[in-house]
Structure 1
Amino acid sequence: MSPAPETGRPAPGFTLPGGVLADGEFRRADYTLDGAPGRPLVLAFYPGDDTPVCTKQLCSYSSGLEAFTDCGAEVWGISPQGVDSHEAFARKHGLRMPLLADRDRSVARAYGIAAPGIGLRRAVFVVAPDGTLHWKHTTLLGATFQSTEILAARLAEFAS
């Protein structure tokens, strides 16, 4: 497994296919992080669509989405499943953030969280508006996740 990028360093860039559920329509697009996004960005890596902990995590972020948007941030969920799986997952649970497909796990490897057997470790990275990695958290077992409140507190650091 590659080492995770260090805070204060540029976040690894990528382009991934994905989509977001809005007004009953799942809008597919490519999502790119390349340089300075101009706003804070939360990258929420999760092992699998429609699994118990992943569902709880993504539903929590979706229902608390205003805590992120109030800080000027976007949240992108990233997992190894394809866009069709993401669409079914988003529709089933009413998820309101983009879900991106890292099918070959190249982005998970770039962020140092690729794991044999499970595909990737549950992790959250906060990218600063200037494109540097501001904060990160990776779980060892993947049974827990960072709360919306903790992430909002990290995002609020950009407003001070």
Structure 2
Amino acid sequence: MANKSKELQIGDQIPIFQLQNQNGELINIQDFIGKQNLVIYFYPKDDTPGCTKQACSFRDQYEDFNHLNAEVFGISGQSVSSHKEFAEKHRLNFNLLCDVNNTVRKQFGVPTNFFGLLPGRVTYVVDRSGKIVHIFNSQFRAEEHIEQAKNILKQLE
């Protein structure tokens, strides 16, 4: 089934959304716009090898993102309990947001891979105004998402 949403591009404003995090708290992205840069990354599934590697890289470099005035959000379609288990198991120190119906994934137009069978792995770097300044789409180079995001954030500061 094709994703009919238009893929957001560099220069587009991100949609305003609210999702629960791994602790069941409702996170409103609008609370961060105007204050910080954002790194919003969509990943396929909790506790799979590539997603774990990516999440742990964000965890290990989270302080670097703080120094670059950026907040990190991981988004996938699993439940609060799945995210909580994943976050606790790997001591994740940032918000994992539950997009159970893939509503936000569709708003961003995140493409699927492998003939639509696997949710895409895409990272968006968003400036303080809520505008997308960088997009990195790679299913298999999970850790490269972190390096690319940091390099773009350094240019923003």
Normalising by structure 2, we get a TM-score of: 0.88
Give the aligned partner of residue 30 of structure 1.
26
Whole-angstrom distance in 1 between the partners of 2:56 and 2:18: 24
> Would the aligned equivalents of 1:114 and 1:121 in 2 still touch at CA under 8 Å?
yes
Shift of 1:135: 0.9
Whole-angstrom distance in 1 between the partners of 2:156 and 2:137: 21
SS at structure 1 position matched to 2:6: coil
Whole-angstrom distance in 2 between the partners of 1:144 and 1:37: 30
Q: Deviations over 1:93-115 (max 9, x none)?
A: 11111100000001111111153
Whole-angstrom distance in 1 between the partners of 2:89 and 2:140: 22
Change (3 A) 1:33 1:85: same
Matched, 1:96 2:93: yes
Shift of 1:87: 0.5
Gaps of 5+ in 1: 20-26
Give the aligned partner of residue 138 of structure 1.
137
> Would the aligned equivalents of 2:11 and 2:133 in 1 still touch at CA under 8 Å?
yes
Shift of 1:6: 1.8
> Would the aligned equivalents of 2:110 and 2:120 in 1 still touch at CA under 8 Å?
yes
Whole-angstrom distance in 1 between the partners of 2:130 and 2:74: 18
Matched, 1:153 2:156: no
Q: Deviations over 1:44-85 (max 9, x none)?
A: 110000000000000011011111011010100100001100
Whole-angstrom distance in 2 between the partners of 1:148 and 1:121: 16
* 1:5 pairs with one of 4, 8, 17: 8
Matches within 5 A, 1:9-158: 9-19=12-22, 27-34=23-30, 36-115=33-112, 116-118=116-118, 120-139=119-138, 142-145=139-142, 146-158=144-156
Whole-angstrom distance in 1 between the partners of 2:125 and 2:145: 13
Gaps of 5+ in 2: none
Whole-angstrom distance in 1 between the partners of 2:76 and 2:6: 19
> Would the aligned equivalents of 1:105 and 1:114 in 2 still touch at CA under 8 Å?
no
Kindly, what percent of the aligned residue pairs are identical?
A: 32
Name the one with the larger strand percent: 1
Counterpart residue identity of residue 25, structure 2: A
Give the aligned length: 149
Large movers: runs of 4+ above 3 Å = none
SS at structure 2 position matched to 1:28: coil
Counterpart residue identity of residue 61, structure 1: F
Q: Please, which moves more after superposition, 105-114 or 38-47?
A: 105-114
